[in-house]
Amino acid sequence: MEVADSLQLGELAAAFAALPVFPLFDTAYFIVSILYLKYEPGAVEMSRKSPFASWLCAMLHCFGSYILADLLLGESPIDYFSNNSSVILATAVWYLIFFCPMNLFYKCVSFLPMKLIFVAMKEVVRVRKIAAGVHHAHHRYHHGWFIMMATGWVKGSGVALMSNLEQLLRGVWKPETNEILHMSFPTKASLYGTILFTLQQTHWLPISEANLIFFFTMFMIICKVFMTATHSHASPFAPVESFVCPVFFGSVSSGHTSHHHDEHGASHEVSHPPPPPAKSKEELNEGTRKRKAKKAE
C-alpha cells in the first residue's frame, strides 16, 4: 500500500496532478524567470540599448528548457515557439517588468510576499516539466533510462544549463560560472527529481505518478520559498552531500595528499633544493649600506 493511500491523499494528489498550469502558473513562471534576468548586472541597460537582445534573453529564461529537451530528442529547437499564447504571455511579462511606467509592475511582483507566491507557483510548473520530460523520453526510448533522466533534467533546469549562452547574448562571457561545475539548488533538485520520476516510469519505484508529482512539488515549494524568504543560497542537500560524497568520491585535500605521497614516498623530502647558506655578517652589512645609498639617491 502506498504512503499516499494510507494518508488518504490519493484523491488530492490526483486532482493536483490534473490541475492545468496555463495560464495562471505559467504566468508566475514567466514572472520569476524574467525577474531573475532583471537582477543580472547590466540587464536593465541592455534592455534600453538593445530591446531585441533583452527579449531574446527573456525567451531563453522562459523556454530554454524546452529548447534543450527538443535538441536532445532530435526535434526542432524552435518547436515550442509555435505556441503563440505562451510566447505572447511571456513577451507581455517581459515588457511590463522592464518598461512599465514608474516601474510599477516590477515593484508589485518583486514585493516579497507576492514574490513568494510566484516562486511557489513556479515550482509547480518545474515539477510538471520534469515529469513530462521523463514521460516524453520514455515514449520515444522505452528502455533508455539515461535519456529519460537527461530529458527530465534539462526540462527542469534548462534555463540554468543555458546560462552561458544567455550571457553571450548580454555580451558577457564567464565560463567559470558553468552550471555543471557549480550546480545551484534547482539544478540539483531537478537532477534528483528526474531520477525519481525515471524510476517511477520504469516501475522500479512503487508510487503513482500523481503522488510523486504532489510530494516532490511540496518539497520544492517548501525549500524554494524558505530560501527566497531568508535570502539563503545554502542547498538543503548540503548536509547529506557532505557526508555521502567523501565516502564514495573521496575528499579533495585527502586525495591530493595521498596521491602525492604515493608517487614520491620517502624520496619526496630530498627532492627539495637545499636551503641557501646563511649570509655572513659582512655580507649583511654590505647589503644594508647599499639599501641606504639607494634611499639617499
Among 36, 47, 32, 30, CA closest to 90: 30
**Spatial distance between the Cα atoms of 124 and 214, rounded to a whole number of angstroms:** 9
116: number of Cβ within 10 Å: 16
- Give Rg (Cα) of the chain: 27
User: What angle is formed at CA 53 by the lines to CA 48 and CA 59, rounded to 5 degrees?
Assistant: 115
What is the structure's pLDDT at 289?
52
Of the listed ranges 1-15, 169-183, 219-233, the least confidently predicted one is 1-15
What is the structure's pLDDT at 281?
47
What is the structure's pLDDT at 244?
87
What is the structure's pLDDT at 248?
86
What is the structure's pLDDT at 182?
86
pTM of the shown model:
0.80
Which residue type sits at 153? W
**What is the domain partition of the chain in residue ranges?**
11-234
Q: Which set of grid coordinates corresponds to residue 22?
A: 496555463
Residue 292 has pLDDT above 90, yes or no: no
What is the structure's pLDDT at 291?
54
pLDDT, tens digit, 9 for 90 and up, residues 178-218: 888 889 999 999 999 999 999 999 999 999 999 999 999 99
What is the structure's pLDDT at 287?
53
What is the structure's pLDDT at 170?
84
pLDDT bucket at 5, cuts 50 / 70 / 90: low
Which residue type sits at 89? L
Q: Which set of grid coordinates corresponds to residue 62?
A: 522562459
Residue 233 has pLDDT above 90, yes or no: no
Averaged pLDDT for residues 216-242: 91
Is the Cα dihedral 202, 203, 207, 210 positive or negative? positive
The answer to whether the beta carbons of residues 13 and 210 sit under 8 Å apart is yes
